[in-house]
Amino acid sequence: MNHSRRALLPTLYDRLFQTLGPQTWWPADTPFEVVVGAILTQNTAWRNVRISISLLRENGLLSQGALRAIPEGELALLIRSSGYFNQKARRLKAFFGHLDRHWQGDLNRFLSQDMDRLRIELLGMHGIGPETADSIILYAAEKPSFVVDAYTLRIFSRHGWVPGKTRYEALRRFFMEALPADVPLFKEYHGLLVRLGHLHCRKKPHCSGCPLEPWPVTPNV
DNA sequence: CACCAGGCAAGTA
DNA sequence: TACTTGCATGGT
């Protein structure tokens, strides 16, 4: 590991924070709402998820008991605005069904277990992939698991900071080996990368005009 | 109207 | 292991 690779992530964080300021953007008040939001926002814009959350709240469904009681088909209609609503209704039911069967419905106790075991259990649940799992670990359990998303993959491969075929687990390891295991830092870093992705790095082949330019291209990992 | 955002599971080879 | 397809909305 050479010096420039070691310095890349801390230096990038400083530059993003100076340019964009604090983000602290995950819109949820409780661990329960983090879980619901994490599932609803899969491959979906947050504005569409907010509509669903509001509707759930208006109908008194933002509780484990209410989600347990409502039929899957009725739940699906209420989260329609989030897209993929039949799948997501099934995933919500699966998550809280698992919690009932294996943890007596105790979300806090589930989230309190060792981080690596929590991650493995989450990844074994229907509808929970790596990004959703890490979002739940970081924002609901408040444990330091770095959340990689499509923006992060795109930004890092386009800048040549990682090999083109780098996928989720490898990029997560890259962050976690280079940064201190710090929950507020991981939240802020993820928020900054999402913001950067929204601003400049969607469909464009290069990040011309983005806050990172000019940036010295760093050798691959 | 066309197009876009941006995870996961299941099926294929 | 790696690639493909289905799932669905609201905003521009």
Domain count, chain A: 2
Nearest nucleic acid nucleotide to A51, CA to C1' distance? C10
**What domain range is A187 assigned to?**
3-23+146-200
Residues A130 and A190 in one domain: no
N- to C-terminal Cα separation, chain A: 8
Residues A126 and A153 in one domain: no
Residue A210, domain member (yes or no): no
- CATH number, residue A103: 1.10.340.30
Residues A82 and A160 in one domain: no
Residue A206, domain member (yes or no): no
Q: Cis omega before residue A71 (within 30°)?
A: no
Residue A207, domain member (yes or no): no
Q: Verify if strand B has an atom below 7 Å from the CB of A42.
A: yes
- CATH number, residue A13: 1.10.1670.10
Residues A83 and A17 in one domain: no
Residue A81, domain member (yes or no): yes
pLDDT score of A159: 85
* Exposed/middle/buried for residue A104 (C-beta within 10 Å: 0-12, 13-18, 19+): exposed
pTM of the model: 0.93
Residues A114 and A156 in one domain: no
pLDDT score of A221: 39
Residues A60 and A95 in one domain: yes
Residues A118 and A183 in one domain: no
Residue A214, domain member (yes or no): no
Q: Verify if strand B has an atom below 7 Å from the CB of A35.
A: no
A75: its two tokens: 């739940």
Each residue's pLDDT, cut to its tens digit, for chain A (221 residues) gives: 455 666 899 999 999 999 999 997 788 889 999 999 999 999 999 999 999 999 999 999 999 999 999 999 999 999 999 999 999 999 999 999 999 999 999 999 999 999 999 999 999 999 999 999 999 999 999 999 999 999 999 889 888 899 888 999 999 999 999 999 999 999 999 999 999 988 876 555 555 556 666 554 454 43
pLDDT score of A89: 98
Nearest nucleic acid nucleotide to A198, CA to C1' distance? B5
A31: Cβ–Cβ under 8 A, 6 or more apart, which residues?
A: A107, A108, A111, A140, A141
Residues A36 and A127 in one domain: yes
Residue A167, domain member (yes or no): yes
Residues A97 and A63 in one domain: yes
Å from the A166 CA to the C1 C1': 15
